[in-house]
């Protein structure tokens, strides 16, 4: 029966009206998966031999020590990106198929997601290297089973968290508190992690604990989903009482203020939009990667990180214009809506958040003022240049966004398109190249000033650039309307 379900999903994929977009996104995702496979397998080799030859420590002990961190990161990633596949199950509810079979299929399908099995490649590769280095075959096999079983537990935990954001936030706060206690050596969290995970190797019977937990959580999830497995209950779209809100001071800015008002309310109310805000906060921490590798300390990569740290909201929100308005975009196009003012409102909102990100990024001055002024220049470039290129790429994004969908926040297909990829050249490669060359010949001051000047020029030329962007949106207007009306 499971194979029949999979065949039906394959047929659905090739018969859909949006086959071109689906196929393109699948190819891009496949390339991304291959990239992460290479990173994880290569990372396993790097971790094992670096720990053994450079740090002169036991690789298995060191990996076991930080296993708790890997487990928490895996849980967070699955919560943010891995969706529970309920939509494709609904048509089968009226057929002569046992609900037990449907529920088990839905649970099993979560393990086909790349987010489920990608992390396992690191530990499989690490275990194989350890075997060639003389570690016990039974010990490493049992250790691997225990570790993977614990990682797969996150699939079930994710199901319980789905749609329960207050619970997820509370658990997240607990993780932060525990991490802080471990960081300040109040509680030896990493030592406990080392003892617990290393016991799978030294005392193989301890690996039965995660295996038993895996079976137990499968059974609990099955009971939970089986009870909620009705269209008017667990599978029903959540309905909330509408509230009338208004940010009064924005009204004095006319049409632009009205559009910004609507977007702010959308960001406060809807699940997908809230995910954009969460993703933007995560981008603020991207610059911390520079302290994990010497590669990130090169001028070009410092500029790259500065663009991401200050432009997270811009990249996530801007390229989804007008997809965020897809539910009422056809109605809006029948009204006397000034297109330029509509786009300017999006532009000002992005730049306001980018300006706030520049201020928050002041924390990076702790690592040196050279780092912060680089990020500051990147922020100005985002405000003056990238904000407009991002809006331009949004004209080609014709994928509907259901703002109340249960889909995971950053997993909307079609959010990226070929034009958006091509626009990465002026958005990312140009400032990286200019900054690197200017810094090489004139020092940090020249690099920062050159990027800042480009950003300021772009800011003051916005009216002429907006005219070009508006023309592009009008050219794509009817194809966008057709795409937003087409539910296939």
End-to-end CA gap in the chain:
25
Q: How far is CA 434 from CA 189, 300, 370, 453, in A?
A: 45, 9, 17, 11
Q: Using an 8 Å Cβ cutoff, are 277 and 313 in contact?
A: yes
Query: Is the model's pLDDT at 166 over the cut of 60?
Result: yes
411 and 443 both lie in a single domain: yes
Q: Is residue 62 part of a domain?
A: yes
Query: Is the model's pLDDT at 223 over the cut of 90?
Result: no
Q: Is residue 6 part of a domain?
A: no
Burial letters 87-124, b for 16+ CB under 10 A, else e: eebeeeeeeeeeeeebbbbbbebbeebebbebbbbbbb
Distance of CA 196 to the CA centre of its chain: 30
* Residue 221: other Cβ atoms inside 10 A: 20
332 and 439 both lie in a single domain: yes
Query: Is the model's pLDDT at 251 over the cut of 70?
Result: no
Q: Using an 8 Å Cβ cutoff, are 343 and 255 in contact?
A: no
Least confident range from 15-19, 263-267, 411-415: namely 411-415
275 and 375 both lie in a single domain: yes
Cα separation, 416 vs 393, whole angstroms: 9
pLDDT at 2: 59
Query: Is the model's pLDDT at 94 over the cut of 90?
Result: no
At 261, list the tokens: 């008002």
Q: Using an 8 Å Cβ cutoff, are 383 and 306 in contact?
A: no
Mean pLDDT of 471-476: 82
| pLDDT, tens digit (0-9, with 9 covering 90-100), for 326-352 | 777 777 777 677 778 888 888 888 899
3-state secondary structure of 282: helix
274 and 141 both lie in a single domain: no
210 and 343 both lie in a single domain: no
Q: Where would I find the H helices in 319-461?
A: 329-333, 339-360, 369-381, 387-394, 418-422, 424, 430-460
254 and 340 both lie in a single domain: yes
Burial class (CB in 10 A: 0-12, 13-18, 19+), 169: exposed
Average pLDDT, the chain: 79
Least confident range from 16-20, 62-66, 114-118: namely 16-20
Cα separation, 156 vs 28, whole angstroms: 28
Query: Is the model's pLDDT at 242 over the cut of 50?
Result: no
Mean pLDDT of 185-204: 91
Least confident range from 54-63, 105-114, 395-404: namely 395-404
Which pLDDT band, with edges at 50, 70 and 90, does 259 fall under?
Answer: confident
Rank 250-264, 416-430, 436-450 by mean pLDDT and report only the highest. 436-450
Report the domain count for the chain. 2
Which pLDDT band, with edges at 50, 70 and 90, does 416 fall under?
Answer: very low
Q: How far is CA 110 from CA 355, 413, 465, in A?
A: 39, 17, 45
Mean pLDDT of 61-78: 90
178 and 276 both lie in a single domain: no
Q: Is residue 344 part of a domain?
A: yes
**Domain-ending residue, one of 197, 228, 259:** 228
pLDDT at 472: 83
Burial letters 447-471, b for 16+ CB under 10 A, else e: bbebbbebbeebbeebeebbeebbe
| pLDDT, tens digit (0-9, with 9 covering 90-100), for 105-152 | 888 888 877 878 888 999 999 999 999 998 999 999 999 999 999 999
Cα separation, 58 vs 54, whole angstroms: 11
pLDDT at 32: 77
* Residue 235: other Cβ atoms inside 10 A: 16
**Domain-ending residue, one of 228, 263, 287:** 228
pLDDT at 262: 78
Cα separation, 476 vs 393, whole angstroms: 11
**Domain-ending residue, one of 194, 228, 262:** 228
Cα separation, 52 vs 33, whole angstroms: 28
Query: Is the model's pLDDT at 80 over the cut of 60?
Result: yes
Burial class (CB in 10 A: 0-12, 13-18, 19+), 330: middle
Q: Is residue 5 part of a domain?
A: no
Give the DSSP letter of residue 240.
Answer: -
Rank 12-16, 369-373, 424-428, 451-455 by mean pLDDT and report only the highest. 451-455
Q: Is residue 427 part of a domain?
A: yes
Q: Is residue 240 part of a domain?
A: no
Cα separation, 80 vs 275, whole angstroms: 8
Which pLDDT band, with edges at 50, 70 and 90, does 409 fall under?
Answer: very low
Query: Is pTM beyond 0.85 here?
Result: no
Mean pLDDT of 300-324: 84
Comparing CA positions, the residue from 244, 201, 218 lying closest to residue 155 is 218
Q: Is-cis flag, bond preceding 154, omega within 30?
A: no
* 292-297: Cβ within 8 A, 24+ apart: none
30 and 125 both lie in a single domain: yes
Q: Is residue 7 part of a domain?
A: no
157 and 198 both lie in a single domain: yes
Cβ contacts of residue 119 below 8 Å, gap of 6+?
Answer: 40, 70, 74, 151
83 and 137 both lie in a single domain: yes
348 and 413 both lie in a single domain: yes
303 and 185 both lie in a single domain: no
Q: Is residue 244 part of a domain?
A: no
Which pLDDT band, with edges at 50, 70 and 90, does 12 fall under?
Answer: low
For 189, the domain range is 16-228
Q: Using an 8 Å Cβ cutoff, are 71 and 178 in contact?
A: no
């Amino acid at each position: 029966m499971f194979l029949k379900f999979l065949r039906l999903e394959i047929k659905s994929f090739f018969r859909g009206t949006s086959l071109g977009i689906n196929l393109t996104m699948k190819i891009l995702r496949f390339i991304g998966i291959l990239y992460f496979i290479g990173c994880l397998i290569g990372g396993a080799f790097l971790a094992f031999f670096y720990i053994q030859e450079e740090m002169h420590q036991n690789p298995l002990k060191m990996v076991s020590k930080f296993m708790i961190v890997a487990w928490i990161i895996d849980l967070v990633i699955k919560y943010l990106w891995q969706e529970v596949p309920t939509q494709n199950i609904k048509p089968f509810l009226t057929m002569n198929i046992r609900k037990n079979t449907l529920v088990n299929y839905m649970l099993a399908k979560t393990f086909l997601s790349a987010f489920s099995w990608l992390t396992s490649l690191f530990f499989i590769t690490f275990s194989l290297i350890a075997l060639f280095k003389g570690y016990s075959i039974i010990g490493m096999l049992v250790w691997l089973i225990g570790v993977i079983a614990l990682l797969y537990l996150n699939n079930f935990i994710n199901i319980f968290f789905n749609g329960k954001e207050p619970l997820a936030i509370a658990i997240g706060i607990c993780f932060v508190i525990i991490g802080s206690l471990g960081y300040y050596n109040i509680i030896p969290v990493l030592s406990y992690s080392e003892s617990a995970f290393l016991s799978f190797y030294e005392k193989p019977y301890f690996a039965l604990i995660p295996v038993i937990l895996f079976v137990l959580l499968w059974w609990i999830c099955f009971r939970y989903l089986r009870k909620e497995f009705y269209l008017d209950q667990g599978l029903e779209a959540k309905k909330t009482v509408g509230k009338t809100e208004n940010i009064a001071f924005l009204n004095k800015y006319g049409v632009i203020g009205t559009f910004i008002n609507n977007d702010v309310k959308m960001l406060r109310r809807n699940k997908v939009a809230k995910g954009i805000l969460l993703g933007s906060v995560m981008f603020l921490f991207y610059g911390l990667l520079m302290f994990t590798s010497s590669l990130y300390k090169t001028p070009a990569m410092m500029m790259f990180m500065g663009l991401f740290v200050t432009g997270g909201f811009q990249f996530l929100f801007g390229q989804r214009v007008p997809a965020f308005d897809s539910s009422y975009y056809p109605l809006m196009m029948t009204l006397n809506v000034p297109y330029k003012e509509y786009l300017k409102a999006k532009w000002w909102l992005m730049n306001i958040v980018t300006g706030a990100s520049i201020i928050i990024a002041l924390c990076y001055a702790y690592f040196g003022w050279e780092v912060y002024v680089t990020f500051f220049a990147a922020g100005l470039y985002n405000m003056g240049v990238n904000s407009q290129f991002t809006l331009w790429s949004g004209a080609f994004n014709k994928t509907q966004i259901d703002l109340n969908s249960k889909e995971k926040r950053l997993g909307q297909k079609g959010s990226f398109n070929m034009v958006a990829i091509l626009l990465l050249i002026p958005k990312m490669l140009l400032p990286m190249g200019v900054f690197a060359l200017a810094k090489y010949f004139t020092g940090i001051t020249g690099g920062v000033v050159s990027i800042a000047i480009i950003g300021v020029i772009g800011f003051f030329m916005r009216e002429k650039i907006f005219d070009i962007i508006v023309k592009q949106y009008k050219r794509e207007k009817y194809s966008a309307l057709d795409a937003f009306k087409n539910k296939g």
